[in-house]
Structure formats: structure tokens, C-alpha cells
Amino acid sequence: MSLFFYLEKGASLDPGAPCLTLAGVSRSYGEVVELAEAVARALRRSGVAPGDKVGILSANDPTAFTCVFGIARAGAVWCPINPRNAAGENAELLDLFDCSTLIFQPAFDDLVARIAPELPKLTTLVRLGDGDDLAPAFDTWLDAARHDPPADAAPPGDVAALVGTGGTTGRPKGVMLTGRNLETMSAITLMSYPFAGRPVYLALAPLTHAAGVLCFPVLARGGEIVIMAKPDVGEFLNLIERHRVTHTFLPPTLIYMVLGHPALDSTDLSSLQCFWYGAAPMSTARLTEALDRIGPMAQLFGQSEAPMMISTMSPAEHRRPDGTVHTRRLTSAGRPSPLVTVAILDAEGRTVPQGERGEICVRGSLVMAGYYRDPAATLQASAHGWHHTGDIGFLDEEGYLHIVDRAKDMVITGGFNVYSAEVEQAVMAHDAVRDCAVVGLPDDKWGERVTAVVQLQPGAELDADELIAFVKQRVGSVKAPKQIEIWPELPRSTIGKVLKADIRTTLTGS
């Protein structure tokens, strides 16, 4: 299914309804459809054929997001390029994806000017603003194709998007997501979470990632997307109240900032139906606080290769029938989604008994078509007929999925397997701790020693020995950190994930 369908479906419900809103200015569904079709005609005039790759380099912006649907209308493949990446990484992705066209905001002129000469396959540049020596203006580019016939095609192989993996552990790969993958994700979203009436979705997180694909099911219901051009927690709260926002998504790091904002408790959040969190583990202590102070929190777990919805946990599942918080479930990632099969496998591809740890593996139409131009990596990821997530976890007696670590992050100390996620939860239960990352460092006695790098709450102070004793009471002496480092900030990728490789390098010097 073409990504254009979601926009077209929303327009069929009410072409005059607000579709994309930024800074109080809305574009209707009819206007967004018209612009998307103009983009498709301009792409075709520029020589873009079905299946060709088109990159978008932009911060959150309604025009840039509309181009996603124009790309789909032309049968081309959307390649979201993260503006927070370093120039070298974006050049690598554009080359890896074989992008022939790049649509970019003027704020990234210097970056594009630096990398474009290194990319001979990149033949068309379009500037979302006035034209200059680097690229023609967006409006000029559209006007040249104004009288061309409609461009309406499907991409070969149903590939709708090429998404770069995080790139935190080596050379990034290109994940081929099909229209069917995103249709499955949208269907799971609509059947697993509350959607009463016409939704209003607030997008603060980058539209190049999770916040963007969550727009598709909202558009299919004729909802409004309120876009924030840059992160601002105070404005985020203000927009929820002003626009009566029903749905939104934030990673845990930003939720912690919301919980620390002085305006939170005076903001009217009664319109919220679903506040999604995901992309990284969340402290159960902070999640409990969020349930009390924000309301309908909803978890999702996925990865680029199986977008967003491997497992889900609705707001209702966070509480018992009597309304109290279901604390044990808060450590889980929810239940496997209705259209996904999840198994916990050992190294030989055998299913392990319930409650035992192994690699989380997935089957179903949510799973990617493969890695672009990388058959070896595709074969490795699909061993034994399952997609291998690289996450270690288990299924409990209720069928809830618990993620205990990335396979590469497990610490082996004194012959025992220690899963960093469990230790991180114990550390973050301390009131003075805002965030934490646990890694294993070489140790002559233990093989690896459990090491916790901690970011404190603003203004907090904490003694390392006190924290070690606190954690020992919760997980025992084997799992408790033998080394505590307190840093002002944890190193993060451009999408907010903690870079444990960088932490290890800093602490070991290699």
C-alpha cells in the first residue's frame, strides 16, 4: 500500500479538516493532497522513476513531511535523513541508498554543499525556500511541472521507505520497509490503543523516526498533526492544552524533562487518550510518576526492521481493575502484538521454556523486506526463519515480553550473566538518579566488572558507596555495580539512544 493512501483516506473523510499544523497555522487535507501531487509531478519531471530513492533532510516541517506523500505518489522510495547526524554519516547514507534526489531545508545548506560533490549519484537538489547557486527554490521546481499529467505509480517490490539503522555499532544498514510493513504497523496501532473521535497528534520527536510513522494511522482517521519545529517542553505542554491533543509520543529522556517541568501539574491534560513511550528503557519509578501526573501512558516496542509494534501495552494494561498501578507489568514491553508472532530462541534457534532468557525473535508482515544491498546481513538477521532483534528477553506467565538486555551488552562477571537493563532499573529507582547506563569493563578478578554511569537529577548529590548499597538491596551483590561514575550527561545518538560503546571507550581509553 502506498503511503499516499493514508493522506488520501483522511482527505476522503473531510478535505477541509486541518491536516498539518505548525505555529498555529493549519493546512487542510485538500491543500496537503494538492501539494503532494505537485511534488510527485515535479519528481517525475526531474527524472525520478518508480523505485528511485529520494532523500529528505529537514527538521520537523509541514512542507517537508508533505513531500513524503509526494514521493509515494510518484512511486519513489522515501529516505528520511536525520538532520542531527554528522555530515559524514549522512553522506554515507545517501550513497548507500543510491539517492538521486535530495529535498532539504536552507538550514542545511552548508552540510549539503559539503557532501553533494562526493555523491555523483545525487543529481537533483531542491531547496525548501528561495533558490540559490546550490539548488533551485522549491516553488520554482514545482511550477516547472505545473501542467504535467498526474504522477501516480507504485514502487517496485512495494518498498516504501529506506531507513538507516542507528549506526551506533558500526556501519549503518539500510532497512527496506514495504507498504505492507507500514500497513501492518498502522493496523496494530489502531487495534491496540484508544482512538475515540478524530485524533489530534502532537509531534515533538523527529518525524524522521518514530514520531513520523505514527502519523500514518492518525491520518487514516482524518486526524490533525500538530508539528513542533524544535524541542521545547514548556511549549509541548502548552500545545497539548491549546489543541486538545489526544495522542503523542516521546522517548523516556524527554518524558523525564516533562516530569521536571514546573508547568506540568497546572496543565490541562484531560484530552490525552494515549501518551506513547518507547525507543529506550524507562525507569519504573519515573513511569509510575508519569501515570499519576500525566495519565494514559502507553508503551510500544519495535525497531527499524520491525517498526514500532512488535509488542504493545495500552494505557488500561498499566493498571489493575481497581485502578492501582500494575507495577510488575511496568518492567515489561507489553504483550506481542496481534499481527506479530514472538518467540524466545536459544543460539541454535530452539524455543526456550517460558520464563527463560533468550533472543527475542519475530515473524509476520511487520518484518522488513531485508537490508538494502546487503544479502549477508539479511541472511544473518533471518536465521532459522525468524527475524532476530538482537535483544535478550523472556515471556512471563501472562504473556508479557520483558527485555533484559541487548545481546552485545550482557555483562559476564565472575561466571554469572548480568543483564544491564535489570541493574539500570535498580539504579534509577533512587530518587537522585535521572538516568543511567550499565556496561561491563575488563577486570582481572571478575572478567568484567559491572559499571554504572549515572546522570543525576538537577541539583541532586549522591555518594557512590550509598548508591551501590542501595542497588545491592534490590538485585544482590553479584549484579550491583562495582564501579559508579557520575557524569553531567550520558552520550546519546541523534535519536536519543545511549551510546554504550562511547561510554566503554571513554572509561577504557580504547
Q: What is the pLDDT along the chain (510 residues), one digit of tens a residue?
A: 899 999 999 999 999 999 999 999 999 999 999 999 999 999 999 999 999 999 999 999 999 999 999 999 999 999 999 887 778 888 999 999 999 999 999 999 999 999 999 999 999 999 998 878 889 999 999 999 999 999 999 989 999 999 988 544 457 799 999 999 999 999 999 999 999 999 999 999 888 877 899 999 999 999 999 999 988 999 999 999 999 999 999 988 889 899 999 999 999 999 999 999 987 778 888 899 999 999 999 999 999 999 999 999 999 999 999 999 998 899 899 999 999 999 999 989 999 999 999 999 999 999 999 999 999 999 999 999 999 999 999 999 999 999 887 777 778 787 677 878 888 989 999 999 999 999 989 887 777 899 999 999 998 999 999 999 999 888 888 889 999 999 999 998 766 778 888 898 899 886
pLDDT of 510: 65
Count CB atoms within 10 A of the CB of residue 417: 14
Say if CB 127 and CB 104 are below 8 A apart. Answer: yes
Q: How is domain 410-508 classified at the architecture level of CATH?
A: 2-Layer Sandwich (3.30)
Structural contact between residues 454 and 462, judged by C-beta atoms closer than 8 angstroms: yes
Pure H helices in 340-438? 375-381, 420-428
- Rounded to whole angstroms, how far apart are CA atoms 509 and 498? 18
Length of the chain measured in residues:
510
The rounded distance, in Å, linking the Cα atoms of 508 and 510 is 5
Q: Which residues pair with 292 in a beta bridge?
A: none
What cell was used for 61?
516541517
What is the rounded CA–CA span in Å between residue 455 and residue 126? 41
CATH 3.40.50.980 fits 23-179, yes or no: yes
Instruction: Give the residue extent of every domain in the chain.
Output: 23-179, 410-508
Element holding 235 (H helix, E strand): helix 233-243
The cell numbers describing 62, all together, are: 509541514
Looking at residue 5, what is its pLDDT? Answer: 96
* DSSP-derived secondary structure letter, 269: -
Only one residue has cell 535498580, namely 426
